[in-house]
Homo-oligomer: A and B are copies of this chain.
Amino acid sequence: MTDPIAIQDTYPEDASHCYGCGRLNADGIQIRTHLDGVNAVTEFDPWPSHTAFEGTVYGGLIASVIDCHSTGAAAIFAMVAAGTEVGSEPSPRFVTAHLEVDFLAPTPLERMRVVGRLVEITQRKVVVESELIVDGTTTATGLAVLVRLRDD
């Protein structure tokens, strides 16, 4: 089985410098999101410096990962809805209009898996709900409203 294509690997160069998800931002966290069944999934290994209290991840990283994951998930869901595949053109771009994060429990400083589910999609807007899971436990949930950028 080949690795699924991460949506961020298909972003054009001028959209690939985001600290959260730009493959060309050498200082950034470079998250990558792919389609997994009907969900959009991001896996990320937090850095040792990404601490809150010892051994746990600070909330800003969780919000950052859910935010960029959601913009990527929105693009994936829009392509699925259009009957196209990740890696094909045209590839839609989204920006976040509204982000919510609920911190349910401390998140251990270990590999996190963020699973995004499509809640709503229109021509202009996508709503994504996400769960952040570490070692089988959901430690945070997210809700994001993403707005589609004009296709160039």
CB within 8 Å of B: which A86-108 residues:
95-103
A125: B residues at CB distance < 8 A:
none
Give the residue of B27, B52, B67, B96 whose beta carbon is less than 8 angstroms from that of A49.
B27
CB within 8 Å of B: which A23-63 residues:
25-28, 47, 49-54, 58-61, 63
Q: Do most interface residues of chain A lie in helix, strand or loop, or is the interface mixed?
A: mixed
A20: B residues at CB distance < 8 A:
58-60
User: Whole-angstrom distance between the alpha carbons of A67 and B63 in the complex?
Assistant: 9
Tell me which of A26, A54, A63 has the highest count of chain B C-beta atoms within 10 A of its own C-beta.
A63
Give the residue of B28, B50, B67 whose beta carbon is less than 8 angstroms from that of A59.
B67
A113: B residues at CB distance < 8 A:
none
> Does A118 belong to the interface (CB within 8 Å)?
no
Oligomer copy total: 2
CB pairs A–B below 8 angstroms (25 shown): A17-B52, A17-B53, A17-B54, A19-B60, A20-B59, A22-B51, A25-B49, A26-B49, A27-B49, A59-B64, A59-B67, A59-B68, A59-B99, A60-B60, A60-B64, A60-B65, A61-B64, A63-B64, A64-B64, A95-B103, A97-B103, A98-B102, A99-B100, A99-B103, A100-B100
